[in-house]
Structure 1
Amino acid sequence: MRRRDFLLGAACAPVMSMSMSMSTARAAATRAPRLVVLDWGLVETLLALGVTPAGAAEVADYNASVVRPLAPPRVTDVGLRLAPSLERIQDLAPDFILINSSQETQRAMLERIAPVRAFAVYTEAGAPYRHAVDITRELARLCACVAQGEALIGNTAAALARHRARLATQPDARAQATYVMRFFDARHVGVYGARSLFQDVMDALAVLNAWHGATDYWGIGVTGIEALAAPATRVLYFDPLPPGVARALATNALWHALPAVAAHRVAALPPFWGFGMLPSAARFADALSQALIGTAAA
């Protein structure tokens, strides 16, 4: 090698090294962070964005309750949502731990491992669908997938508009106000109303909710089945039923006397997590429109 070529290469080496370092930094800045997620609504949103968390809470129960999108086998189960395994989380070495606002009591403990980000979808003020849209954008920015975030928001809005238009062609499907509920046992239910994601979807589909009673900040009113006695209504309940409930309802005279049940305007909905975000909203809109059309035909 000639002396001039050697000196030229030596002079360029720091520049090349700096360029490579800058490229590596840019790549690190744009990659999705390594995440552990303790809230299922955040998990479903990340998966819908194409981001797979390193770890999540109660993965098997998430898949059974949320149903779609499924968490793949490579997502490590870090234990309970309200009592996760700190050892498992630490082993995953996350960049961030994501929680919902009701899990704030865990923040100090979790921040010993990694920075914690908390998100408030369900609040006393309600409007979980609007909050879900805002938080989807936050998650998309955090994970460097802004375009995917906007696509998820747009596709969800389009799905709701499509189901609203579908129901508009079936007047009988929206002829009665509808109770949407979950059985706790054969005599007690949780009815979804104001401040629930399901209420926001019903509003978007122009479906009247038959429940006007009080709800907590998750949007649920706990009541006995006798409160579902409004005339000209229908009842939709979520599967799966708790053990023994189907057998008890079969001989429950109060249940069979309810106007909706007596008129055969009652149907089961597939399993749902009641505190989801946009993926749950789109899936609920589909399930709701199918159930309303089905019970109208009955």
Structure 2
Amino acid sequence: MKSSLRIGTRGSQLALWQARWVQAAITRDQPDITVELVIIKTQGDKILDVPLAQVGGKGLFVKEIEEALLENRIDLAVHSMKDMPAELPAGLVIGAIPARENAHDAFVSVRHAALHDLPDGARLGTSSLRRAAQLKHQRPDLTIVPLRGNLDTRLKKLETTDLDAIVLAAAGLLRLGLGERITRYLNSEEMLPAVGQGALCIETRDDDPRVGPIVVKLDHADTHHAVRAERAFLKRLEGGCQVPIAGHATTDGSRVDLCGLVADVDGRRIIKNTRSGPVEIAEQLGRALAEDLLANGADHILESLQSHG
């Protein structure tokens, strides 16, 4: 008899692409396993008319899936890593982090070639406080328009509403074969990505002797080291959707280079720094970078945001 695995996933086109990628990788390695997808609707999928920063709470796109995992209704979960809160529920672990797609943000416009080409007062759509703060820092004249919905919806809004441009994660566009829609990639100087952006998270129960060894084969060491550094940085800052926090690490296999920032919501003040060190201390680097930013004034920004939250 063939054994089976159930993967929990959101139902968006991108989430299904990610879950099917994991499904295919497992069946390629172990053809005797039947892998099925279980679609679970999360709170973040249900609330589409309010910016995420106003919804509040952490884990808007993962909580219901994690509950299914804890209750044995699924055997593993596939998430976008940037949706993962810094702290996991007791009993769950990150079983694997596959090789990362492009981690950067993409500038998408029909009429304009780059951010600096936008006219004064241009309307730019984004669903992210992190992006909005960095955009306002460079271009205080821009009108930032909240943009929710799946990728297709957001791309359509660029064509059907009076938006001059939108900014999205490049990874989603590339995974769905929409790379030709990218007008320009934004480098880390222009737009530091979200923690975990471009990476997948395969989440499992920590006491599952069957699933753990299956998914660990999908882990990519360099991506894992980089994301560990980023998530340790996020955890120390206790960041969620309500705070403009960005963090991005790269690694050459032996060293990790991590850049992080905290901004106030209007983008007037950005506190940014970098740390580098051996991959063995990736998490210590993340915590140390967070301490650097806190000592340089990020503590005041975070306190004021949390008091207004």
Larger Rg: 1
TM range (shorter): under 0.3
Higher RCO structure (Cα 8 Å, ≥6 apart): 2
* TM-score after normalising by structure 1: 0.27
Greater helix content: 1
* TM-score after normalising by structure 2: 0.26
